[in-house]
Structure 1
Amino acid sequence: MNLEGIKDPKFLKNYSNEQLEDLAQDIRDFLIAKLSVTGGHLGPNLGVVELTLVLHQLFDSPKDKFLWDVGHQAYVHKILTGRAGKFDELRQYKGLCGFPKMSESEHDVWETGHSSTSLSAAMGMAAARDIKGTDDKVIPIIGDGALTGGMALEALNHIGHEQKDLIVVLNDNEMSIAPNVGALHNVLGRMRTAGKYQKAKDELEMLIKKIPAFGGRLAATAERVKDSLKYLLVSGMFFEELGFTYLGPVDGHDLEDLKVNMNYARKTKGPVLVHVITKKGKGYAPAENDAKGTWHGLGPYKIESGEVVKKPGPPSYSGVFAESLKKVAREDDRVVALTAAMPGGTKLDQFAKEFPDRMFDVGIAEQHATTMAAGLATQGMKPVFAVYSTFLQRGYDQVVHDVCRQNLNVFFAIDRAGLVGADGETHQGVFDISYLRHLPNMKILMPKDENELQHIIYTAVNYDGGPIAVRYPRGNGYGVQMDEKLKEIPIGEWEVLRDGSDFSLLTFGTMIPLAMEAADMLARKGIQAEVINARSIKPLDESMLLELARKNRPVLTVEEAALQGGFGSAVLEFFHENDIHSMVVERMGVPDRFIEHGSVSKLWEEIGLTSDNIVQRAEKILPRKRQRA
């Protein structure tokens, strides 16, 4: 079938199972081919082909609302809603978003990127539906990994209490980005092997109804027998006790099994949970056999061999972090590492191999991880929570109250700080400086390259003055020489990388190469720019700032982070608080809007973080300096 000719999912209504099977194969072939060029979330989408087809055949999107939790598994939905022709530009600048996006289609009713939000949003939509008196169905699709998130469990509890008409589809592929952890995962495992719970329950009820009605006593006994047998069956009881009608387990690749159970769910009053078992990567052997999470989300690959196309280059920042942490941990048995379901992404899987008893994967539970780290710190341990910048936002209250307020020695290794590119708005790590800088007791550092990162890791682990955060970007370093011996970097001290007499560029991390390039360009124009590695974002290097004020030298701050409340704001605040009002200070950074997906270099161009823009801003502030002189 020509998938690019699909305009909306109505054509599925009269499709037979045989036609759906053919279409499922066409979709799998399409995804395998397209993503081999663009990269993307292949495994999750290959696993939900039949499920998505049945949902769109039996329900009426967008009247009926599908909420794809996380959004990693929404590619099939995008194909069926008229976007197959845009897959050549998947996750590319100005191209098709890798997650549901309302501006793309009326069929995308909820935008996702962080997990465990779909059930809460669905509860809100169902409540609004009932207030308005409409009859649309609300169907959140949530994975077994996302279901372990605290927010999802809170929503399950509330939905069961309110008894709203909702159909929760639990897409259980037995694996999140990393192997799932936790007691709930074990509960789901027992359900998978317990057989058809609903069929057994229905047969039991039919048997009871055949018992002659010899009075209430016998009827009550029959009910007790039914309840006892329900608990004996075990499967589904967790959800039934929460107030859901449990259907399953359902074979997520058996069209008839899916249809029977979805039709049953559609006719059932109150909340229903349909437990669907799928195979991540279904139909493509390399993805099906993936035990490391490689095929969850990846770059280009060779279709025939499944070989992932990797360009040789310097080590990744995540890899340098993990190797440096192992070095320190060999000398200090107090070092303990934590991750929230991202051992591979943070490279802590390497730490776990060497120190299995000192590594904790808590599942999708950043709040729990943060407070657990605080608990470890109270007992003299050195907890290191490696977390993506965007996901640390989910544990913010715990950072404030449980870590900073108690001034505990917790080390936040903030991965993916700055723009991350293809994953777009929900994953850009540009807010952490703003949401951490104003917290009492918090320190924030960022290295200029991979060599400085290893020294800053050493510094942070050995710091005993309270919480400390180290930011580092996604991707690889620069290939600089790596020192053999680790050393401490003085917190609160900056480094002059290039002398200059006309004005000062204050920057850090990924912006330093741009600043150095801009300084070269300015030098050719006769302007001498001082470039300062402001690697200590909090505290600032106050002595250096006072020296700049003494020289009355214009300052330009450049940061790959939100301008509001960011590093540049901190510099302005310092001069204001010290009654230094003659300084010319300009700021460059991420503007006050969400930044969409695309390559990082393209996004830098879009928001004006380029060496050319630095030169232009410098030339603007220099005449102002001369007019005042």
Structure 2
Amino acid sequence: MSTLLRQLKGPQDLKQMTLVELHQLADELRGQIIDTVSRTGGHLASSLGIVELTLALHYVFNSPDDHLVWDVGHQAYAHKLLTGRLERFDSLRQLDGISGFPKRAESPHDCFDVGHSSTSISAALGMAVGRDSKRKHNKVVAVIGDGSLTAGLAFEALNHAGHLDRDLIIILNDNEMSISANVGALSSFLSRKMTSRFFVRFKRETENFLNSVPRFGKDLVQLAKRTEDSFKAFVTPGMLFEAFGIEYVGPIDGHQLDEVIETLQNVSALKGPTLVHVLTRKGKGYLPAEQNPSLFHGVGPFDKLSGQVVEASDKKPSYTDVFGDYLCQLASEQPRLVALTAAMCTGTGLVPFAKRFPERFFDVGIAEQHAVTCAAGMACEGLKPVVAIYSTFLQRAYDNVLHDVCLQNLPVIFALDRGGLVGADGPTHHGVFDFSFLRHIPNLTLVAPRDEIELKRAMLSALASPGPYAYRYPRGEVRGLAEPEAISPLPNGKGELLRPGTCACLVSLGTCAEEALAAAELLATEGLELAVVDARFLKPLDEELILAQLDTCGALITLEENVLAGGFGSAVLELLEQHGRYEPLLRLGLPDQFVEQGSQSQLRARYGLDATGIARQIKDFLARLNRPAKGGRP
């Protein structure tokens, strides 16, 4: 039983603890995180690596008056446990439970909603400006990882922070551990000395004295600054940040609590923007996570004693696996095919590609905008770039897709992983907006395959396309269909009638087709013969097939795992309006709201997108139309 953690009423209680007690609390936090995540799944390695730093932040600062802004937020489990969410922590990432990321609606200690990377410095700087406008004096602290710092947004914020010169503390959580022990020890010593109040006062008084020296004073000041800067640049990467006008401190060992606390106390007394470089180890305190931090970055349930991830014995490959393997096959036949990803090599299934074709693989870091525009440049030179990216992260590169790829009609291929509902990561990660923000862009072909065979066909079609092409597939296992002898490209803009019917036609897009067919089977038991069409293409729509089914059935239902606003159903509605057709239409999809966390099956059931929910809504729709069983039009 966690003794100190159970007794903790809030982060203010940390200030009364001894260093020995804080170390014990760090062990208890790790134990609680490992125990919970082993059952719920979640972001383990990153949260374990930042336990001491989190304790130090709450020990030195006064949350929520002082604002702690977490980048991405997958490292904030210890923060949640210290801020009153221990009793609900078992519900982490579960339906109606607490979020896996900081969430303002969940706690006053969560001052900014996050989930995507590289936003912390921008948000924190905005808070600092707001604080100053109200003449307050609370501290604002941004916690950002070395990976998140690769994004352009982070550097834009650093540039602006240096320009505004507001009081702002940036914690750079560097878990690469790339600095040697000797350099790290020396740098830690330097950081403590250079940030002490005595040293800061001494440095300023020395500068004032030198400036007062006649004739040579200013030259002596510049010489002193160059000497200090050269020495710091020799042992630290501080010159990069000081070029932005930001005071650099570190690097320090992020697992030495006394060292981190002392440094943060010293830094809190400084004025202007300051960056503290903290070295941590991902997975700290749990050997399996330390040895394989990639596996335990975002992990499903696992056996906490052995570290073995719990998987079903009959587990099928995922859509991501199918994409990665088939892309390798296509690349072996197409020498100009290249692949790009934004720090998601494992997540997008590109590890096999990177190993087989290292010279044709490009991981650009957390820089989705750059990935898309770089791919456009590659296409200009005759390459065939495939940008493998999560649907939710492509949102960050919308302008680049529109302006740099589609406006020039360049043959860039977008492989949109995690399309639709993704589960426990919740509203920041559901890929339910891509139909809406992509379908209105000219020149772009947009496909949502219904199964793994159709995905391969779409991939083959994309290679032959002279312009931009996107195919969208979900998170999760494939259906396990038998592989045909040969894979043929999809006929451009053509859907497929999967089941004939008369009372109405259900037109689905993507992997919803499986639930659509199951719903049709349920309705058939009640004498309602429903036609089912797989549209395949959102753009261009198969107008001929859709209108022909409308002629036969007299009513349409559209089905998509996307928000209804501007999605597939809207496209069909526009098609009917263009042809002056005003027959009944029911659109099934997600409402105009952000969808909460939960398993994919739970969320589909909640929003009526499983077979039972689809059948129920269609039955109600037909009842309103007075459609008789076994029949068509009344």
TM-score, structure 1 length as denominator?
0.94
- Over the aligned positions, Cα root-mean-square deviation in angstroms equals 2.3
Question: What residue number does 1:181 align with?
Answer: none
* Residues in 1 aligned to 2:593 and 2:204: alpha-carbon distance in whole angstroms: 62
Shift of 1:174: 1.8
Q: Please, which of 125, 128, 147 is the counterpart of residue 126 of structure 1?
A: 128
Question: What residue number does 2:266 align with?
Answer: 264
* Residues in 1 aligned to 2:185 and 2:56: alpha-carbon distance in whole angstroms: 24
Question: What residue number does 2:470 align with?
Answer: 469
1:560/1:102 CA distance change after superposition, 3 Å? same
* Residues in 1 aligned to 2:622 and 2:496: alpha-carbon distance in whole angstroms: 23
Conserved? CA contact 1:5–1:82, under 8 Å: no
What amino acid is the match of 2:573? L
Aligned to 2:565, the other structure's residue is in SS state coil
Identify which range, 349-358 or 26-35, moves more after superposition. 26-35
Conserved? CA contact 1:313–1:479, under 8 Å: no
What amino acid is the match of 2:345? P
Aligned to 2:83, the other structure's residue is in SS state helix
Aligned to 1:84, the other structure's residue is in SS state coil
Query: Which residues of 2 match residues 252-331 of structure 1 at below 5 A?
Result: 252-290=254-292, 293-311=294-312, 312-331=314-333
Query: Which residues of 2 match residues 150-299 of structure 1 at below 5 A?
Result: 150-174=152-176, 195-196=187-188, 197-198=190-191, 209=206, 215-229=213-227, 230-234=229-233, 235=236, 236-290=238-292, 293-299=294-300
Aligned to 1:96, the other structure's residue is in SS state coil
Shift of 1:233: 3.0
Work out the percentage of aligned pairs sharing the same amino acid.
Answer: 47
Question: What residue number does 2:112 align with?
Answer: 110
* Residues in 1 aligned to 2:531 and 2:204: alpha-carbon distance in whole angstroms: 86
Question: What residue number does 1:478 align with?
Answer: 479
* Residues in 2 aligned to 1:489 and 1:284: alpha-carbon distance in whole angstroms: 48
Question: What residue number does 1:368 align with?
Answer: 370
Conserved? CA contact 1:28–1:46, under 8 Å: yes
Conserved? CA contact 1:113–1:426, under 8 Å: yes
Shift of 1:613: 2.5
Conserved? CA contact 1:554–1:625, under 8 Å: no
Conserved? CA contact 1:417–1:472, under 8 Å: yes
* Residues in 2 aligned to 1:209 and 1:199: alpha-carbon distance in whole angstroms: 19
Aligned to 2:85, the other structure's residue is in SS state helix
Query: Which residues of 2 match residues 384-399 of structure 1 at below 5 A?
Result: 384-399=386-401
Conserved? CA contact 2:192–2:263, under 8 Å: no
Conserved? CA contact 1:584–1:621, under 8 Å: no
What amino acid is the match of 1:486? I
Shift of 1:224: 3.3
After superposition, the C-alpha distances for 1:215-243 in whole angstroms (9 at most, x for unaligned) are: 33453343233233212431211111211
1:7/1:491 CA distance change after superposition, 3 Å? farther
1:212/1:548 CA distance change after superposition, 3 Å? closer
Question: What residue number does 1:101 align with?
Answer: 103
Shift of 1:302: 1.5
Q: Please, which of 119, 134, 143 is the counterpart of residue 145 of structure 2?
A: 143
Conserved? CA contact 1:126–1:138, under 8 Å: yes
What amino acid is the match of 1:198? S
TM-score, structure 2 length as denominator?
0.93
Question: What residue number does 1:414 align with?
Answer: 416
Conserved? CA contact 1:208–1:222, under 8 Å: no
* Residues in 1 aligned to 2:92 and 2:285: alpha-carbon distance in whole angstroms: 21
1:332/1:212 CA distance change after superposition, 3 Å? closer
Shift of 1:201: 5.5
Question: What residue number does 2:613 align with?
Answer: 613
Aligned to 1:82, the other structure's residue is in SS state coil
Question: What residue number does 1:377 align with?
Answer: 379
1:122/1:324 CA distance change after superposition, 3 Å? same
What amino acid is the match of 2:232? L
Conserved? CA contact 1:148–1:363, under 8 Å: yes
Shift of 1:448: 1.1
Shift of 1:626: 4.6
Shift of 1:333: 0.5
Conserved? CA contact 1:42–1:296, under 8 Å: yes
Shift of 1:458: 1.2
Question: What residue number does 1:16 align with?
Answer: 18
Shift of 1:207: 13
1:211/1:137 CA distance change after superposition, 3 Å? closer
* Residues in 2 aligned to 1:449 and 1:48: alpha-carbon distance in whole angstroms: 40
After superposition, the C-alpha distances for 1:24-58 in whole angstroms (9 at most, x for unaligned) are: 11111111122111111110111111111111111
What amino acid is the match of 1:227? K
Between Structure 1 and Structure 2, how many residues are aligned? 616
* Residues in 2 aligned to 1:32 and 1:111: alpha-carbon distance in whole angstroms: 24
What amino acid is the match of 2:113? E
Aligned to 2:354, the other structure's residue is in SS state helix
Segments of structure 1 that go 5 or more residues without pairing to the other structure are 176-185
Shift of 1:384: 0.3
Segments of structure 2 that go 5 or more residues without pairing to the other structure are none
1:534/1:206 CA distance change after superposition, 3 Å? closer
Shift of 1:190: 12
What amino acid is the match of 2:225? D
Shift of 1:498: 1.1
Identify which range, 405-414 or 552-561, moves more after superposition. 552-561
* Residues in 1 aligned to 2:361 and 2:207: alpha-carbon distance in whole angstroms: 56
Shift of 1:158: 0.3
What amino acid is the match of 1:224? Q
Conserved? CA contact 1:38–1:300, under 8 Å: yes
Question: What residue number does 1:594 align with?
Answer: 594
What amino acid is the match of 1:216? P
1:556/1:5 CA distance change after superposition, 3 Å? farther
Conserved? CA contact 1:44–1:72, under 8 Å: yes
What amino acid is the match of 1:228? R
* Residues in 1 aligned to 2:170 and 2:353: alpha-carbon distance in whole angstroms: 37
1:59/1:413 CA distance change after superposition, 3 Å? same
* Residues in 2 aligned to 1:483 and 1:159: alpha-carbon distance in whole angstroms: 57
* Residues in 1 aligned to 2:398 and 2:203: alpha-carbon distance in whole angstroms: 52
* Residues in 2 aligned to 1:507 and 1:45: alpha-carbon distance in whole angstroms: 40
Shift of 1:490: 0.7
Identify which range, 210-219 or 484-493, moves more after superposition. 210-219
Conserved? CA contact 1:460–1:468, under 8 Å: yes
* Residues in 1 aligned to 2:204 and 2:501: alpha-carbon distance in whole angstroms: 90
Deviation above 4 Å: which 4+ runs of structure 1? 186-194, 199-214, 625-629
Shift of 1:553: 2.2
* Residues in 2 aligned to 1:568 and 1:189: alpha-carbon distance in whole angstroms: 59
